[in-house]
A = this chain, B = another copy of it.
């Protein structure tokens, strides 16, 4: 009996299947410090206990995207070890802040399947939940990936494509209990722009850039216990390059967007996401944002802002797709998310 995990192939998935992902993880101040070392993270709520407490939280939580990466990393051995491509994200919501001392684990359910017409692969849709040690769901999202078949003759499953919301409705966003921005300190946060200062359609060039190194993207990916060979083993791809984990680009872009969006403090919704082109060591990641929508919330002083975050490797701003409808070659990431901002 082979002892190593060969991963699941397309024919190994069935609708309604529940995947209990392995290796629960307890986070500490160490993970928080590392997030600040790996990314130019400066959002005050994730940096300072005092700032978080003045905003009604018990302490500074782990960055929402760090929690996302931990939950996501656990799914890799069961979902994407034999993936040809990570096709998209949707219906993501952050439901509870994660604090040092919390232990996270992940569970996924297969909610859609569609074999490709070539018969060699298919698309698997999973809804993943991250749970803490009290079995509370801290975040959830849908992800769909293209997965190879091991046996091309395996019969195609019934095609089921889940009916996913294009965006998470503002009314469905969950605001952390107690969050209150009425006493928000804009000086300490780093910028004076409040929710009312942003207009739908506005584009923000975040100006700063980071050139990526092999050691850094491997460390970031490993920290989340994501073990896909393609990120670590230079002998795995014929070109000898290590593909950078898409989540590394997400966190790099989100933290770079501080410069212009310092007050977009908490990520509460993930509407859509596409890794437009692969990223490799040596690329210089820059980013820009577009304000897509705005909404009020029930929490005191707290507004929601829907943002498109675009990471590039060519420093372009405002350009996304070519005439053929495809992403331009300089675009790395196109992410659509909701954040919370002081009114």
Binding site for B on A (CB under 8 A): 1, 3-5, 20, 22-34, 36-42, 44, 47-51, 60, 77, 100-101, 103, 105, 133, 187-191, 193, 197-198, 204-211, 213-216, 218-220, 222-223, 225, 227, 229, 232-236, 242, 259-262, 282, 284, 315
Question: Which partner residue on chain B sits nearest A41 by CB separation?
Answer: B225
Question: Which partner residue on chain B sits nearest A204 by CB separation?
Answer: B3
Picked from B22, B29, B48, B215, the residue with its CB within 8 Å of the CB of A29 is: B29
Q: In whole angstroms, how far apart are the Cα atoms of A36 and B32 in the complex?
A: 13
Question: Which partner residue on chain B sits nearest A226 by CB separation?
Answer: B40
Picked from B44, B208, B210, B222, the residue with its CB within 8 Å of the CB of A24 is: B44
Q: Are A211 and B225 in contact (CB under 8 A)?
A: no
Given contacts A232-B210, A284-B235, contact A47 B32 (CB under 8 A): no
Q: How far is the CB of A271 from chain B (nearest CB, A)?
A: 22
Given contacts A22-B189, A30-B31, A188-B23, contact A3 B261 (CB under 8 A): yes
- Could you write out 17 A-B pairs with CB less than 8 Å apart? A3-B191, A3-B193, A3-B204, A3-B261, A4-B205, A23-B42, A23-B44, A37-B219, A48-B103, A49-B101, A208-B227, A209-B229, A210-B218, A210-B233, A211-B232, A211-B234, A215-B215
Q: How far is the CB of A14 from chain B (nearest CB, A)?
A: 17
Q: Are B47 and A23 in contact (CB under 8 A)?
A: yes
Q: How far is the CB of A205 from chain B (nearest CB, A)?
A: 7
Question: Which partner residue on chain B sits nearest A211 by CB separation?
Answer: B234
Residues of B within 8 A of A60 (CB): 26
Q: How far is the CB of A104 from chain B (nearest CB, A)?
A: 9
